[in-house]
């Protein structure tokens, strides 16, 4: 079991783009030519040790990094030393794609556990996008998916209790891992500490510990031996108030077999004044 897990996590060095493509193919069609164009990108593979920085706040990278194996996190440290983890990244995610259009990095990127990344020059990506609107769309969309996850993080931290926050983080990670072929059995390596989880959920380390104990006691999920094992997925989702909508993992309605009925696509509900306030 553990062996299977670690095999799952291993990057097939011949196909560094496989995680990304697997996820993308879940939501859109690709012509062989599109994939060929992507696969000609020169990728520089690099390993990071646990805790190592991939990039720091203020950096002006000239390359984008695709996470191939392991986990990265985005983080910011504020005056007073507190750290907020903004996001966990999973294989197939771009780490600093936004530097194509927003040069200065406004947050740091660090490895949670050992990590493999592939570096692609900005120039190569720009060339890829210049070949047609398709890859522009895909990469832009990648940035938007990230923004959607951030919105979810705001809701999570702003409105939910500690237990739901932590549960929600785990649910989101699970779904995203499954979208790239990992965590098939609802368990996955989790090299981060309770303190990392706490900083992602906006709670104290001590409280994160107590919440994890609760989740374990209720038989929902267990985090031991650097491994998360989900025992009751429906219950966990319920406790987390989790819905996968914000991940946009299914084909957007407008993409499914031709154009949808557009008459209901935009509804200006004039009659509902004030409703927004309550």
Instruction: Please list every residue from 22 through 81 that binds DNA, using CB under 7 A.
Output: none
Site for DNA in 213-252 (CB under 7 A): 213, 225-226
Please select the residue that binds its own copies; options are 2, 82, 204, 205, rule is CB under 8 A: 82
Closer to its own copies by CB, 170 or 239: give it: 239
Q: How far is the CB of 1 from its own copies (least distance, A)?
A: 28
Dihedral angle over CA of 184, 215, 50, 40, nearest 10? 30
Q: Reduced to 3 states, what is the DSSP secondary structure of residue 52?
A: coil
**Is 185 an interacting residue with respect to its own copies (CB under 8 A)?**
no
Beta strands in 167-268 (DSSP E): 187-189, 221-224, 227-230
Please select the residue that binds its own copies; options are 30, 140, 218, 233, rule is CB under 8 A: 140
Radius of gyration of the chain (CA): 20
**Is 49 an interacting residue with respect to its own copies (CB under 8 A)?**
yes
Q: How far is the CB of 49 from DNA (least distance, A)?
A: 9
Start-end of H helices in 80-121:
none
Site for its own copies in 224-253 (CB under 8 A): 241, 245-246, 248, 252-253
Please select the residue that binds its own copies; options are 106, 185, 204, 225, rule is CB under 8 A: 106
Q: How many residues bind DNA (CB under 7 A)?
A: 20
The vertex-18 CA angle with 231 and 189, nearest 5°, equals: 30
Please select the residue that binds its own copies; options are 158, 234, 257, 258, rule is CB under 8 A: 158
Q: Count of alpha carbons within 13 Å of 133, Cβ hemisphere only? A: 0
Site for its own copies in 6-45 (CB under 8 A): none
Closer to DNA by CB, 202 or 244: give it: 202
Distance CA 182, CA 132 (A): 31
**Is 266 an interacting residue with respect to its own copies (CB under 8 A)?**
yes
Residues whose CB falls within 8 Å of the CB of residue 212, separated by 6 or more in sequence, listed in order: 166, 194, 197, 223
Task: Kindly state the DSSP code that residue 250 receives in the 8-state scheme.
Answer: S
Please select the residue that binds its own copies; options are 23, 74, 176, 178, rule is CB under 8 A: 74
């Amino acid at each position: 079991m553990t062996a299977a897990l670690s095999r799952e996590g291993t990057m097939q060095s011949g196909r560094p783009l496989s995680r990304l493509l697997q996820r993308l193919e879940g939501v859109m069609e690709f012509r062989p030519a599109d994939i060929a164009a992507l696969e000609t990108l020169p990728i520089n593979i690099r390993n990071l040790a646990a805790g190592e920085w991939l990039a720091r706040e203020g950096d002006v990278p000239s390359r984008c990094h695709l996470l191939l194996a392991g986990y990265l996190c985005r983080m910011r440290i504020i005056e007073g030393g507190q750290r907020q983890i903004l996001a966990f990244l999973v294989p197939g995610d771009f780490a600093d794609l936004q530097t194509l259009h927003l040069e200065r990095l406004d947050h740091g990127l660090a490895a949670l556990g050992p990590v493999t990344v592939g570096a692609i020059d900005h120039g190569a990506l720009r060339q890829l996008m210049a070949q047609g609107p398709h890859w522009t769309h895909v990469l832009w969309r990648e940035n938007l998916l990230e923004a959607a996850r951030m919105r979810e993080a705001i809701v999570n931290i702003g409105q939910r209790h500690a237990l739901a926050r932590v549960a929600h983080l785990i649910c989101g990670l699970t779904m995203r891992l499954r979208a790239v072929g990992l965590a098939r059995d609802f368990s996955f390596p989790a090299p981060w500490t309770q303190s990392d989880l706490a900083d992602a959920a906006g709670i104290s380390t001590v409280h994160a510990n107590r919440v994890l104990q609760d989740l374990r006691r209720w038989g929902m999920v267990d985090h031991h031996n650097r491994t998360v094992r989900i025992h009751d997925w429906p219950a966990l989702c319920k406790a987390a108030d989790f819905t996968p909508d914000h991940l946009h993992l299914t084909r957007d309605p407008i993409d499914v077999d031709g154009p949808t009925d557009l008459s209901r696509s935009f509804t200006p509900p004039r009659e509902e004044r004030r409703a927004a306030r309550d």
